[in-house]
Amino acid sequence: MLLAYDSLTGNVRRLAQELAGTLGAEVVDVRSHLPASEYLLLTYTFGTGQVPDSTRRFLERHGHLLRGVVSSGSYHWGQNFARAADVIAQTYRVPVVAKVNKGGTAADRARVLAWLGEQH
């Protein structure tokens, strides 16, 4: 499955690129590429538990191909930790595959890879 990511300071970009490298999957930046097939979205949480505008705009156009969502965040944000994943999952009716602190851990990457492995 295609990996589409949005990243401001690089945590999500590094996570998406690591996953894509392990899988041999295609990875695209939502700011510059259009998805031509079903994708897993990896994004971050901004504002106070919000979906970044760049991600929101991308989903408005390409939400029909979205199959799952991962959000990065920071534990520092408490109840709003990685909340963008919940907002997107509810709006587009897709699973929250993972919520990760910053760039995520090896366990987070294993979880995402396991989910991707279950997809056809």
Ligand X SMILES: Cc1cc2nc3c(=O)[nH]c(=O)nc-3n(C[C@H](O)[C@H](O)[C@H](O)COP(=O)(O)O)c2cc1C
Contact residues toward ligand X (CB under 6 A) are 7-13, 44-49, 72-74, 77, 80-83, 102
Nearer to ligand X, 58 or 81 (CB): 81
Minimum CB separation of residue 109 from ligand X in Å reads: 14
CA 41 to chain centre: 4
CA distances from 109 to 18, 59, 64, 65, 96 (A): 9, 23, 25, 22, 14
Minimum CB separation of residue 14 from ligand X in Å reads: 8
Tell me the CA end-to-end span of the chain in Å, nearest whole number.
8
Minimum CB separation of residue 104 from ligand X in Å reads: 9
Nearer to ligand X, 66 or 84 (CB): 84
